[in-house]
Structures are given as structure tokens and as C-alpha cells.
Amino acid sequence: MHDTAHRDFLLRDARQQLGFFANSLRQDGGFDTLNWDGSPMDRGPQELHTTTRMIHSDALGHAMGHDDAGRMIDAGMAFLWDQHRDTTHGGYVWSVGQDGVADGTKLAYGHVFVLLAATSAKQAGHKDADRLIDDISAVLDRHFWDDERGLFKEEYNRDWTPFSTYRGMNANMHGVEALLAAYEATGRDIYLTRAGRILDFFVGQIAPEHGWRIPEHYTADWQMDPDYAGNPMFRPKGTTPGHSFELGRLVIQHWDLVGRPDSGAVMRGRALIETALTDAWRPDGGFCYTLHLDGTPDVTDRYWWPVTEAIGALAVLRGLDERPSDVEWYDRLWAFADTKLIDHARGGWFPELDETGAPTQAQFLGKPDIYHALQATLLPLVGRPSRLLAGCWDIRD
């Protein structure tokens, strides 16, 4: 699917990202957010998704043979177990500061990333992975999984008392990602079954009713809540095309893992991906961050992560049922990333652009994340919709 020059480009960027983010590891085992030049930013509380995504990303790096990955996984696993894990109430707190717990909120979003980190660490051979898988699976069962609805509930106080009736797509989408990874790592059918139930709701029911777009927010009885607007990054109003790229790829990944029973899942995944491409691409390149539910632009700011997720989605489509439009979009996305988002001199990707197309720091400070961009470089190299981490062993140096 890819020529030698492009494969070399992907591998080079993946290695450069891993090298850049190795600078985030502190002596105490935590992870600093890095400035554009790779120097540590002023230290604030470390959030759960930062810890878990670093573990997952370095598990991918370990499979590729990256030298620093092992110590990064060790540090992340220790920080997750010793700092984020709540030994009083169970579960995992959202953020930890220098003086202990900074935010004790228990979020489904963070907890599904714990499962992803645990299962990625298991595939990397980490000695503590199984105890973490067992612990987080029990927490998800006890507090978050709603077996009647086949979906994850959302949020609690530190002591597990509820403080809202909010339900969201984002945590459930990343729940699918984690459940599929857990199935790949353990072979336990319950993870695959639960992922399928979540996909049945959002991709089988909700997406067709809304023109192959996914509303983000729901009430306690899972009715769409069109007026809800929370955190502008994690819970923006309307629909988020970047999430359509992710969910489109995940429904195909699930189809692959259950044995490719028919073409319906691929058709649904393609509908999500192609609708988001058409709706959200700006004439000057990049994607509008959010859309109204009719597909018209709402927040037109351009961030790196929707581009990375579109690349991953197109890579999956190209590996299954390549069409000329898939190749055109894939090349367009990488050309944009190459010229606008990748910091070739220092490593990592700039997280946002201003209206002139130059890197800026309005919503994000520094380079806060390796998770999205690293997967964008690796999914095209692995060449199949599932078994991303296992596939990285095949591209090992």
C-alpha cells in the first residue's frame, strides 16, 4: 500500500516522537508536559489520561524496539498504581499533584484509559499488567458498566457518590478502544461482547438517525441532549468529526476481531469517516473542531488530533477496500500534517494552528500528547484494522 519512502517517513516520525516525549519523564516517575522545544513546562497536577496514554504509547514504542520505552512503561505503571489508584475508595483519581490527590473525581473516560494502559502493558510483557487488568476490570464492572443498556455510565465523586446524570459518547468510544485492546491481550470474550454492544448503540442506532454524525451528549436515559456544552475540549457542544474518524475505525476493528462476518460494519464505518471528511475539511486545510448536528461548522479551530485520527481511519480503509478517494484523502492529510503540524526539527506535532496556518498556543500549551500522532504513523505501517500493538513487533528494528 505504501512505497519505501513513505514507510521510512512514518518510521522516522514515530521514532522522533518517542525520543521527544522521553524527555517528559521526571526523577519521581511522573511525566512533565513539554514546551515546543522539549523542555519541561511549569509542573501542574498529572491527569489520569496523561499517565495512561504514555504507558500505551510507550508499549507501542517497546514493540518497535525503542530504547527508552521500557523505563517509560515502568514509571507510568508505578505512578498509576501508587499515585492515581485510590486505596481508600477504589478506582483511580483524575489528577495527582505534588501534595497528593488534586482532583479525586472518578470519570469513565479516565478509567477506560486505565484498561487500555493495562492491556498494552501486558502485550509489552510488563510484570504488573495482570493485577492492573484485574483491578480496573472490577472497578468498571462495579461502578461504570450498565449491563441493561450495554453502555458506560459517566462520573462520580471520589467516594462514588453521584454528582450528575450526564452520559457521553466520548467515554464510551474510548471504552470500545480499551475493550478491544483488552480482548486482544487476554482473549476474554466479555470485552469483545461489551465493545459490540456500545457500537450497536452509537453506530447501529444513533449515527443512521443523524446523517452519519454522532451527537456527543445524552441524558441519564440515553436521550440526546442537544443543548449540553461542558469542557470545550472533552465535552464540546454538537458533534465532533474527529470522534467520527475514531469510531469509524473502531467499528471496523471490532468487525475484524469477530471474524469479518459481513460487509455491513465496513459500510457503516466508511459512512462515518466519509461524512466527517466532507463536513469538516476547511478550504485552507485541517478540520473544523466541532459541527452543528446538521453538519455545518461550529467551532472552526484546527487541532492536530482530528487529522491524526483521519489518517488512521483512511489507513484502515485503504487496507480493506481501497478506493481512489481514499488515496487522495490519505495523501492530502499527510501533506497537511507534514507541512503544518509536524515539528521536524525537534520532534512531536504542534497541537493547534491559528487562522494563518501557523502553530499557536491558544487552547493547548506546549506539546501535550504523543498518543494520537504516534498511532497515525503506526496504523498505516501495521496494515490491518486490529492488533495495532502486535503489529508493531513486525516493524521492529
Q: Which helix (H) or strand (E) holds 107?
A: strand 106-107
Rounded to whole angstroms, how far apart are CA atoms 393 and 65? 8
Rounded to whole angstroms, how far apart are CA atoms 233 and 290? 10
Instruction: Respond yes or no: is residue 49 known to be catalytic.
Output: no
**Share of the chain residues as helix, strand and coil, in percent rounded to the nearest 5:** 55, 10, 35
Burial class for 148, CB neighbours closer than 10 Å (0-12, 13-18, 19+): exposed
Nearest CA-CA partner of 294 in 212, 201, 199, 202: 212
Which set of grid coordinates corresponds to residue 196? 459490540
- CA 157, distance to chain mean position in Å, is 24
Instruction: Respond yes or no: is residue 344 known to be catalytic.
Output: no
**Residues β-bridged to residue 336:** none
Rounded to whole angstroms, how far apart are CA atoms 201 and 197? 7
- Give yes or no for a contact between 263 and 243, defined as CB atoms under 8 angstroms apart: no
From the candidates 6, 243, 292, 344, give the one annotated as an active-site residue.
Answer: 243
In residues, how long is the chain? Answer: 397
- Give yes or no for a contact between 121 and 127, defined as CB atoms under 8 angstroms apart: no
Q: Which helix (H) or strand (E) holds 101?
A: strand 100-103
User: What amino acid is encoded at 288 in this protein?
Assistant: C
From the candidates 49, 62, 174, 372, give the one annotated as an active-site residue.
Answer: 372
Tell me the catalytic residues. 243, 372
